[in-house]
Structure 1
């Protein structure tokens, strides 16, 4: 049973997500979030979450909790199929649930694109939370698939992969809101397949002699 307090908390999370996506985490006050969410008590956010950092964490948990569960099931299926260390399959498990999110109106991917670079608010320690356990396992396995690369290059490739993933999907989320972009299941399937191809190519691209010379 969803309580009134639970409804208020969810409303605050979802309105904060939209405001942070539109303007950035640091540009939005807790009082403004409470006002937009229809709370007469301007301290409502502080009451439910304490700090802005805790509110941001609650947004991540609200969205990534169900995604984490789905990804953990798909990882278990890969292991059963003997594909638990196969890079294309791992990248698809990483990518596809977020592309499936594009089926529904959302601000989450643009929120992530804004919040990812704000100090003390992004979930950098993926092993620390139950709702990021799948992301931690996926990135650990993906990293193991490219461990023949020089260590600095390996770190760069993971950074490039996350950037490609987050900003591409944030862009498509915005395009959908404007009535453009991936609007059908076929569009989403093509985007998923192409993004997996591009990510695998990025992660496994040969290291040029010019890059080797700089190591």
Structure 2
């Protein structure tokens, strides 16, 4: 299990950094998962479905797939367990939908940010920094925003990346967007070894997952005092600078 699987402490909202200017993530309409009841109106039970997904997301992040039951999810959501079967069919399909819904939101936000990254004659270092921000800032902003659900999602993904059982699931929902970004990095750095760029991209993903999991593990080692807002802003900027330096060293 990855370090990011520990329960994070409460986090204040992160002030938006000016260079990023990435739009806030918006939750799209979630379509019915496979295995749900046939003929069900799209509007019927939407709130119940979202409560079940939110509860499942938190429990899967805290206890893993095998350590969570449909009854646990229904109890946390305050719903009858039969409704889980009605909306999702099986625990596996519920789990897949938990992963899918955030991946859809995140891909949309990342690609929107990527569309604003210029392809002209800007200095390479500036383009690389802009690409990193387009990929990292949407999820960082979401995790440090008012909803703690995104923290649960990132802690869950931090666990799944280390388990081969879930590799196909992650590939199906995250590789499309990842490949688009990787191609843009290769365009911005044509002289860099393509495999070295892939390694740098994977290191960036791992760094973002750790930053967004926020376990407070190293807080006791910090010196001086800063406001929570300044602390989050500083950690985010240091993360972006760290990743940028890694890419530029290739």
Cα deviation, 1:144-203, whole Å, max 9, x if unaligned, reads 5456444554443332221111122112xx44xxxxx9832x433323321111112223
Partner of 1:193: 237
Of the three residues 44, 47, 56, the one matched with 1:16 is: 56
Counterpart CA distance in 2 for 1:202 and 1:47 is 48
Highest RCO, 1 vs 2 (Cα 8 Å, sep ≥ 6): 2
Q: Report the secondary structure of 1:79's partner residue.
A: coil
Gaps of 5+ in 2: 1-28, 30-41, 217-225
Q: When the two structures are aligned, how many residues end up with a matched partner?
A: 193
**More deviation in 3-12 or 44-53?**
44-53
Contact 1:115 1:122 in 2 (8 A): no
Counterpart CA distance in 2 for 1:51 and 1:125 is 19
Of the three residues 162, 169, 172, the one matched with 1:117 is: 162
What's the TM-score once normalised by structure 2's chain length?
Answer: 0.63
Task: After the TM superposition, list the runs of 4 or more consecutive aligned residues in structure 1 that deviate by more than 6 angstroms.
Answer: 80-83
What's the TM-score once normalised by structure 1's chain length?
Answer: 0.72
* Structure with the higher helix share, 1 or 2: 1
What is the Cα-based RMSD across aligned positions, in Å? 3.2
Contact 1:95 1:192 in 2 (8 A): no
Partner of 1:87: 128
Of the three residues 137, 144, 147, the one matched with 1:96 is: 137
Residue 49, structure 1, aligned to residue 95, structure 2: no
Mark the CA change 1:139 to 1:33 in structure 2 (over 3 Å): closer, same or farther. farther
Counterpart CA distance in 2 for 1:133 and 1:150 is 21
Pairing 1:94-173 to 2, within 5 Å after superposition: 94-101=135-142, 102-104=144-146, 105-106=148-149, 107-118=152-163, 119-120=165-166, 122-126=169-173, 134-145=177-188, 148-150=191-193, 152-171=195-214
Mark the CA change 1:137 to 1:113 in structure 2 (over 3 Å): closer, same or farther. same
